[in-house]
Amino acid sequence: MTTQSKIGDSPRRREDARFVTGAGAYLDDLRFDGLTHAVILRSPHAHARIDGIDTAVALAAPGVLAVLTITDADADGLQPMRPSVEANLQTGEPFAFLPQPLLARGKVRFVGEPVAVVVAATRAQAMDAAERVVVDYTPLPAVTSHQAARAPGAPLIADGVPGNVCLDWQAGDTAAVDAAFAGAAHRVTMPFVNHRIITNPMEPRGVIGAYEDDRYIVHLSSQNIHGNRDSTARWLGTTPDKVRFIAPDVGGGFGAKNFTYAEHALIPWAARRVGRPVKWIATRGETFLSDHQARDHHAEATLALDAEGTFLALRVTSTANIGAYMAGGAGGLQTFQYVHLQGTIYAIPAIEILVSAVLTNTTPIGVTRGPGFAETGNIIERIIDVAARQCGFDRAELRRRNMVRVMPMTNAFGFVVDSGQFLETFDRAMIAADKAGFAARRATSEAAGKLRGFGFACHIKGTGGSPHENVDIRFEADGTVSLITGTQTIGQGHETTFPQILAHRLGVPNALIHLRQGDTDLIPTGGGHGSSRATYMGGTAMWRASDTIIEKGTIIAAKALDAAAEEIRFEDGLFFVAGTNRSIGILDVAVLARAANTPLDTYHHWTRDAMTFPNGTHVVEVEIDRETGRVTLDRYTGVDDYGVLVNPMVASGQAHGAMAQGSGQALMEQAIYDPASGQPIAGSFMDYALPRAADLPSFDLSFNGTACTTNPLGVKGAGEAGAVGGFPAIANAVLDALAPFGVMGFDGPATPFRIWQAMRGQG
């Protein structure tokens, strides 16, 4: 790392040396005296009544310290989990939901639901004892799809949720849409499915709980420790000051570690029960069964156009299958993120959406990259391609005609996007992807007996998450600077990029700035990492705290330099008297300030009133084997707008990861349930394929940044674009390749068998 790396530089990630040499400290690496081990006994049924639980034999097994059920949880005053959003964020209408018990109460509602906690001296002993717990189940009919859940006579999953419907509402101008449809030259309708996926972070979820001095100490793999601490305190029946959450190095999250899980409360509660620390690390099988899953969104869209192809109105009717419980922010996702940018970057004067969310006997839905915005983007980018084909327009020109040209943009729902050059970015992407040369490449593929398709999609999302953030900047006695944040790094490179921001503002060498985070005792609040918020929110807090530090330092420097405060200027780490060569460095000023008992240490908390809106265009080419249906992703080009880039190399790495994730969903990933039994069919990597290096081309990514106006850095959230734009771009390319077969509609994943079926009219 160079002595001074500022915003816009690309120093190597300082944390990587620790990781590649095996010096990282993930949850399973931590050591505790007297540690015991927990195993969660989970339901083997998707829907069943619990007629009894016999724990006697398990309790008598070697090494067993406790076998805990809902009866024990009730006795200790533990509370069920509630969603983080309980009412429609637009209308205030309360959702219908059943709070999720920490351990099953009288009934199980999905395969993998926690039923009991077994604690023993070793993991092997806990596993053996878990097999000796006898649960008397009476299986009940299960539903796994939104259609089955709403069918007449469908089994009721939860009391208090009539018809299994948690929310059913409308937004937008119905009359305006009806009028536009009546006068439109073209109306195009198509159903779309954004299928369910499993996020699979590299490090599984885990919790190590202890109870010391009337306080719960919880080490866990999480991307939102302050929010989850507060929720967990409620489930434990205590207050947040009685719970400390610590997240060491976290091996990815992708949204699955954003919200609270039963284990967050169960494991520290078990530790209090047995009087020793208790450890639980999820197996990969538990990841497939119990981690919040994502997407599973079904929609029918109708787009109205005039004779020249100008968009007049859009109507979307959609249903989200949210699983057995309304977990985390599932309701907020449907009533805010999904609504926020309907129509995305296109000028559509009238929009109406109808949104419902239903319970099924499947793992609860949470979030993954681009939640809500990815579903919205898939719908508009797919329906535009359908409209172009059915109405005789060029796909690219139809987009150009309708893109918003003047910023800021206010969409049909009144939401404002501050910045972006959508048309310029689109054109740059088409040039970079060599659209003009596609015909020749298609001819080459056809000569080899293969199909070739060209697809593209524009994307935009709002970077949301918690609207509150804070930092604490401390000038230490050893000459270093502690940068304490309420955001979290879960692999994004914040140990490198956050010091770059502070080095840029204060002129302190990067190597002297140390990021400290991941401990609720370090700083009062924090929004963690979700929705690409960390650089925007944490960076803005740093910037504003730096303003205060410079103001404080100016007073100290003026005294040291025998000048008036009005004469002092600050630049590149130096306070100096204007028009002279008299100066003093900020670290020397910090020493003087500490000696005067007026330290430069500064805490800053802020609440945002606007979001950032990363956007861009992704262009792909696929090649399809006519005989086998195998799809090869041959080319992938992206031009993205993330505003000002703190570290272009790190931003590129984050974008590449999202491109891989979006490609995985488009080509191979899908969580499938047996519709009769509710059993998950994709329960391991034997059944659920993730993209490997050989499945992906070299990404051609470039940037067309426009400075964001909603924060002083000009940054926009990065890291989710590929999961928003990649999925519809690949789907459009697949349909372009299949056009000779008359295939008009196709929903992912584009597995060989499904493509083979589509080519033969069996899809």
Q: What's 57's domain CATH number?
A: 3.90.1170.50
Instruction: Verify that 405 and 437 share a domain, yes or no.
Output: no
Instruction: Give the count of alpha carbons within 13 A of 645, CB side only.
Output: 22
β-pairing verdict for 206-212 and 350-358: unpaired
- Please tell me the distance from the alpha carbon of residue 512 to that of residue 508, in angstroms, as a whole number: 7
Looking at the domain assignment, is residue 273 inside a domain? yes
Instruction: Verify that 739 and 750 share a domain, yes or no.
Output: yes
Looking at the domain assignment, is residue 654 inside a domain? yes
Instruction: Verify that 710 and 622 share a domain, yes or no.
Output: yes
Residue with tokens 């992703």: 633
Instruction: Give the pLDDT confidence of 4-16 residue by residue, as tens digits.
Output: 899 999 999 999 9
- The C-alpha angle with vertex 433 and arms to 429 and 437, in degrees rounded to 5, equals 135
pLDDT at position 160: 92
Chain mean position to CA 667: 20
Instruction: Verify that 477 and 603 share a domain, yes or no.
Output: yes
Residues in the chain: 763
Give every CB contact of residue 553 below 8 A, 6+ residues apart in sequence. 570, 575, 586, 589, 590, 593, 600
Cis before residue 749, ω within 30 degrees of 0?
A: yes
Task: Decide which of 290, 322, 342 is a domain's last residue.
Answer: 290
Average pLDDT value for the chain: 96
Looking at the domain assignment, is residue 397 inside a domain? yes
Q: Alpha-carbon Rg of the chain, whole angstroms? A: 27
Instruction: Verify that 61 and 102 share a domain, yes or no.
Output: yes
Specify the CATH number for the domain of residue 389. 3.30.365.10
Task: Decide which of 245, 273, 290 is a domain's last residue.
Answer: 290
- The C-alpha angle with vertex 761 and arms to 755 and 763, in degrees rounded to 5, equals 55
pLDDT at position 328: 85
Instruction: Verify that 339 and 399 share a domain, yes or no.
Output: yes
Instruction: Give the pLDDT confidence of 616-640 residue by residue, as tens digits.
Output: 999 999 999 999 999 999 999 999 9
The 8-class DSSP code of residue 650 comes to H
- Please tell me the distance from the alpha carbon of residue 378 to that of residue 477, in angstroms, as a whole number: 53
Domain that holds residue 505: 16-24+465-607
Whose CA is closest to 542, among 458, 596, 472? 472
Tell me if 301 sits within 8 A of 59, measured CB to CB.
no
Looking at the domain assignment, is residue 7 inside a domain? no
Whose CA is closest to 736, among 389, 299, 376? 389
Q: Say whether pLDDT at 2 is over 50.
A: no
pLDDT band at 763 (very low <50, low <70, confident <90, very high): low
Instruction: Verify that 408 and 338 share a domain, yes or no.
Output: yes
Instruction: Verify that 451 and 407 share a domain, yes or no.
Output: no
Dig out the tokens for 214 from the structure. 């009337």
Instruction: Give the pLDDT confidence of 294-346 residue by residue, as tens digits.
Output: 999 999 999 999 999 999 999 999 999 999 999 988 998 999 999 999 999 99
pLDDT at position 744: 87
3-state DSSP helix/strand/coil % of the chain, to nearest 5: 35, 25, 40
Q: Say whether pLDDT at 1 is over 50.
A: no
> How much of the chain, in percent, has pLDDT values that exceed 70?
99
Provide the number of structural domains found in the chain: 4
Q: Order across the sheet with 64-68: list the strands.
A: 64-68, 114-120, 36-42, 278-281, 206-212, 215-220, 243-246
- Please tell me the distance from the alpha carbon of residue 93 to that of residue 381, in angstroms, as a whole number: 31
Dihedral pair phi/psi, residue 324, rounded to 5°: -75, -25
Task: Decide which of 266, 290, 314 is a domain's last residue.
Answer: 290
Using DSSP's 3-state secondary structure scheme, residue 107 falls into strand
pLDDT at position 747: 86
Instruction: Verify that 314 and 345 share a domain, yes or no.
Output: yes
Overall average pLDDT of the 463-472 stretch: 93
Tell me if 166 sits within 8 A of 97, measured CB to CB.
yes
Instruction: Verify that 189 and 315 share a domain, yes or no.
Output: yes
pTM for this structure? Answer: 0.96
Looking at the domain assignment, is residue 479 inside a domain? yes
Instruction: Verify that 162 and 121 share a domain, yes or no.
Output: no
pLDDT at position 4: 82
The end-to-end CA distance of the chain, in Å, is 54
Instruction: Verify that 188 and 306 share a domain, yes or no.
Output: yes
Instruction: Give the pLDDT confidence of 357-408 residue by residue, as tens digits.
Output: 999 999 999 999 999 999 999 999 999 999 999 999 999 999 999 999 999 9
Instruction: Give the pLDDT confidence of 682-730 residue by residue, as tens digits.
Output: 999 999 999 999 999 999 999 999 999 999 999 999 989 999 999 999 9
